[in-house]
Amino acid sequence: MFHCLWVVLLAIKVFVKSRSSPSRYGIDYERYARGNTLRDALRGGNRQKQSSQQQSFGENGSRYFDPRQFPPLPSESSERYDGEGPRRFRGLGDDEWVADAGSKSNGPKVDYTKHKYSYPELMFEPPNDGSYPPLVDMSKIFEFWGQDDLDSPPEIIPEVLQHFDYQNPHEVAAAEKYRDLELPFKVYNVPEVKAAGIKWTDEYVADNFNDAGDDDTPRSYGNAQQSVDSFFAFYYPERWDVDLLGPSPSLDIDWTYDKWAQHAVYADEVSLSPNEKHYYWQSGVTREERLKKRKHWTFVSRDLPSFSSPEPTFFGFNPPAQKGIQCRFGERGVTAATHYDGGRNMIAMMTGAKRYILSPPNACKKLGIVSSRHHPSFRHSMLNFGRVTLLDKKDTGVKMSDREREWLRIAGSAQTLSTVLKAGEVLYVPSHWFHYIVSLQKSAQCNTRSGIHEDGNRNFGGMRDVRQCTLDRD
Quote the pLDDT of residue 172. Answer: 98
What is the per-residue pLDDT across 148-168, written as a single tens digit (0 to 9) for each? 999 999 999 999 999 999 999
Quote the pLDDT of residue 415. Answer: 98
Quote the pLDDT of residue 94. Answer: 87
Quote the pLDDT of residue 316. Answer: 94
Query: Is pLDDT above 80 for 11?
Result: no
Quote the pLDDT of residue 62. Answer: 83
Amino acid at 71: P
What is the per-residue pLDDT across 171-212, written as a single tens digit (0 to 9) for each? 999 999 999 999 999 999 999 999 999 999 999 999 999 875
**Rounded Cα distance, 308 and 470, in Å:** 32
CA distances from 416 to 134, 313, 351 (A): 8, 29, 25
* CB of 70 closer than 8 Å to CB of 383: yes
Q: What percent of the chain has pLDDT over 90?
A: 75
Q: Which residues pair with 358 in a beta bridge?
A: 417, 435
Quote the pLDDT of residue 55. Answer: 73
Q: Which residues pair with 355 in a beta bridge?
A: 420, 438
**Rounded Cα distance, 188 and 464, in Å:** 32
Domain ranges (residues) in the chain: 2-42, 83-469
Query: Is pLDDT above 70 for 37?
Result: no
What is the per-residue pLDDT across 207-217, written as a single tens digit (0 to 9) for each? 999 875 556 78
What is the per-residue pLDDT across 123-132, written as a single tens digit (0 to 9) for each? 999 999 999 9
What is the per-residue pLDDT across 52-67, written as a single tens digit (0 to 9) for each? 456 777 667 789 999 9
Query: What CATH class does 83-469 carry?
Result: mainly beta
* CB of 453 closer than 8 Å to CB of 178: no
Average pLDDT on 377-404 reads: 93
Local confidence band at 474 (pLDDT 50, 70, 90 cut-offs): low
Across the beta sheet with 185-188, the strand order is: 163-165, 185-188, 426-429, 343-351, 443-452, 325-330, 278-285, 222-227, 251-253
Three-state secondary structure readout of the chain: CHHHHHHHHHHHHHHHHHCCCHHHHCCCHHHHHHHHHHHHHHCHHHHHHHHCCCCCECCCCCECCCHHHCCCCCCCCCCCCCCCCCCCCECCCCCCCHHHCCCCCCCCCCCCCCCEEECCCCCCCCCCCCCCCCCEEHHHHHHHCCCCCCCCCCCEEECCCCEEECCCHHHHHHHHHHHHCCCCEEEECCHHHHHHHHHCCHHHHHHHHHCCCCCCCCCCCEEEEEECCCEECCCCHHHCCHHHHCCCCCEEECCCHHHHHHHHHHHHHHCCCCCCCEEEEEEEECHHHHHCCHHHCCHHHHHCHHHHCCCCCCCCCCHHHCCCEEEEEECCCCEEEEEECCEEEEEEEEECEEEEEEECHHHHHHCCEECCCCCCCECCECCCHHHHHHCCCCCCCCCCCHHHHHHHHHHCCCEEEEEEEECCCEEEECCCCEEEEEECCCEEEEEEEEEECCCCECCCECHHHHHHHCCCCC
What is the per-residue pLDDT across 274-329, written as a single tens digit (0 to 9) for each? 999 999 999 999 999 989 998 899 999 999 999 999 999 999 999 899 889 999 99
Quote the pLDDT of residue 472. Answer: 62
Quote the pLDDT of residue 443. Answer: 98
Amino acid at 311: E
**Rounded Cα distance, 416 and 140, in Å:** 9
Pairing type for strands 434-439 and 335-340 reads antiparallel
What is the per-residue pLDDT across 412-464, written as a single tens digit (0 to 9) for each? 999 999 999 999 999 999 999 999 999 999 999 999 999 999 999 999 999 99
Average pLDDT on 54-81 reads: 86
C-alpha torsion sign, points 220, 223, 224, 225 = negative
Euclidean distance between the first and the last CA atom of the chain, given in angstroms as a whole number: 47
